[in-house]
Structure 1
Amino acid sequence: MPVKLIAVDMDGTFLNSEKKYNKARFLKQYAQLKQRGIKFVAASGNPLYTLQAYFPEITDEIAFVAENGAYVTAENEEIHYSAYAPEVLKHMVSDLEAKYGSSVILCAKSCAYVRSDVTAKTLAKLNIYFKSIKQVDSLLDVKEPICKVTLTTVEHDFEAMEQYLKQQDYVKNRLTKAVSSGFGFIDLIQPNKHKAYGLAFLQERWGIADEDMLTIGDNNNDIEMIQKAGYGFAMSNAVPALKQVAKYHAKSNEQEGVLDIIDLVLQSKGFSHSLVSEPEVMS
């Protein structure tokens, strides 16, 4: 089956440790993908505005599955936005703000909300991933629709925070789901509103079946979209849980593993089920 859609995670996958990618190489690839009618999607836990900043040359042409699947756009058109029910959000925020204070981030369409007492250390970390931040005295004052709640572990122990969340009723009762998105963040996403959920809107729009989709990721929040795709790739630097469910594996984000996979697609080559080194011919 030919690949008709390529969806890539960003941090730890498309981007290297410096939050960069080989732009010259990719833009040449993208021109060929566009010519062949192969859709390119950036699928990330990052906000839309952060993702768009990585692709200034083609932002108007490509699609984004942002906020772990809750915010979907294509060619600058909003396809889907899913927000928490106000009563659920209030319950969660009341608890989390009391427990973790300025380590809580509310993700809205155009910005991320944090408390005004956020420390300089935490703010420095957040500025890397959230390119638009607004500070408020209390997160309960935010009236804008919120699609995701993020916790940063800059000043907390990751495992302790993870264990705390597992014990809370809003997680136990599946009003939200806690997933690690890597780099010291825990995302609270709406149940079943993951990256695969977001991609489904684009598949319907373009008439693309699961078996014609290629997805690439490195972390727990990529599991559903890797399982959904006919060609699901885990980076060599991926977490064990993702490697276990991925049908295929790519070189690391430091070795331009994603771009190597795109080359194989453009060359109509097949994929080895181990680390991609000697491609097989696709049938």
Structure 2
Amino acid sequence: MFSQLRLAAFDMDGTLLNGESQMTDATWEACRLLQASGCKLVLSTGRTYKSAQQPINGFSFDGYVCSNGATVLDADGNLVQSSSLQPEMIQQAVHTLRKQPFYYEFHDTESTRWMVQEDRERIELLIRDDISVEGISLRRFAFYKWTRVVPLAEMMQRIASGESKIVKMFVWHPVPEELVPVRDELERWGDVSDITSSGKHNLEVIPKGVSKWEGLTYFCRKWGLGPEQVMMFGDAENDREALSHAGYPVVMENAVPTIKELARFIAPHHDRDGVAEFIRKQILAGG
């Protein structure tokens, strides 16, 4: 059934990682066995490269598609491909986001997560509960330790000059309905950017035409592979293009219904080592 499989790509949150945003020992070992069988393994995530490294316990993937495809890195972490948002679009989007409190960050090609200093107080009230995004407490870690905070004027100057090349804008709110009008406004720049999501509480703004699949095609070219030789594991809207193009689309049991429609195979729930079980029972044991 999987005789053509040569590359397996994994979304992280809600897929490879459990509910505690950890790569369990069972998943680690299953991935090791799959890689030892000759299959290339690539992370395909909305996270930055640095954030993607935190929960994988030193596992050596063969490549990384990060920020939903806006950055692509080889096994050694060397950046080999990137796409940036237009400075003018970002500057106008910031004015939209500052109209009311939203948690938002800018991610650049160096995996730096930027925040605007003037908005810290408002955002702090928004995240007074211990909310976790990508397994990182917004309040205790992302807000205070993981992000680089600069004045608005400096942020705009860095973007305008190209000193910071922004590959993704991440927007979060505890009430999903509050994101609807924001998405409508951000879609005004649909000619230069795309909007996707890794969950109902966030929006992820990336350069036009960028996707996890577009990032994975770098590795297909590098290793001489066709789409029919690629397996993609995913669960959310930002996995749509990769699941639609991969010859073996594997959707998690916990995925949203619209993404499950893309499945050729269903893997068990991510909180029950679903990826590990699928690899062991369906791929390595021949189904």
Q: TM-score, normalised by structure 2?
A: 0.83
**TM-superposed deviation, 1:21:** 2.7
| Structure with greater contact order relative to length (CA < 8 Å, sep ≥ 6) | 2
- Supply the AA of the counterpart residue of 1:52: Q
Measured on the aligned residues, the alpha-carbon RMSD in Å equals 2.2
Alignment-derived partner of residue 275 in structure 2: 258
Separation (CA, whole Å) in 2 of partners of 1:120 and 1:18: 24
Q: Which amino acid aligns with 1:34?
A: Q
Give % identity: 24
Counterpart Cα distance in 1 of 2:265 and 2:116: 42
What is the correspondence of 1:29-108 to structure 2 with a 5 Å cutoff? 29-59=30-60, 61-76=61-76, 77-96=78-97, 98-101=98-101, 103-108=103-108
Deviations 1:246-281 (A, max 9, x none): 2221111011111112112222x2xxxxxxxxx3xx
Shift of 1:107: 0.9
* Secondary structure at the counterpart of residue 259 of structure 1: helix
Q: In 1, distance between residues paired with 2:265 and 2:158?
A: 42
Give the Cα–Cα distance (whole angstroms) in 1 for the partners of residues 186 and 240 of structure 2: 23
Seen in structure 2, the aligned counterparts of structure 1 residues 68 and 168 have a Cα distance that, compared at 3 Å, is: closer
- Distance in 2, matches of 1:234 and 1:34, equals 20
| Structure 2 unaligned spans of 5+ | none
Residue aligned with 2:12, SS: coil
Query: Structure 1 length as normaliser, TM-score?
Result: 0.84
2:21 to 19, 22, 27: 19
Other-structure match for 1:164: 182
Q: What is the count of residue pairs matched by the alignment?
A: 263
Deviations for 1:88-139, whole angstroms, at most 9, x for unmatched residues?
A: 222222322x324552211112311112313166385454485731112224
Find the counterpart in structure 2 of residue 148 from structure 1. Answer: 168
The yes-or-no answer on 1:212 pairing with 2:214 is no
**Structure 1 ranges of 4+ moved more than 6 A:** none
CA-CA distance at 1:45 after TM superposition: 0.8
Structure 1: 5+ residue stretches without partners: 270-278
Deviation at 1:66, TM superposition (A): 0.8
Q: Which amino acid aligns with 2:256?
A: V
Quote how far apart the aligned CAs of 1:169 are: 5.4
1:190 alignment partner, one of 207, 210, 222? 207
Q: Which moved more, 1:128-137 or 1:40-49?
A: 128-137
2:127 alignment partner AA: T
Q: In terms of mean alpha carbon deviation, does 120-129 or 183-192 score higher?
A: 120-129
Distance 1:100 1:216 in 2: 36
Q: Could you tell me whether the CA contact under 8 Å between 2:107 and 2:114 is conserved in 1?
A: yes
Aligned residue for 1:7, secondary structure, equals strand
Letter in 1 for 2:124: T
Q: How does 1:107-118 map to 2 (within 5 A)?
A: 107-108=107-108, 109-116=110-117, 117=120, 118=123
Q: Supply the AA of the counterpart residue of 1:5.
A: L
* Aligned: 1:136 with 2:150: yes
- Structure 1 residues 35 and 185: alpha-carbon distance in aligned structure 2, compared to 1, 3 A threshold: same
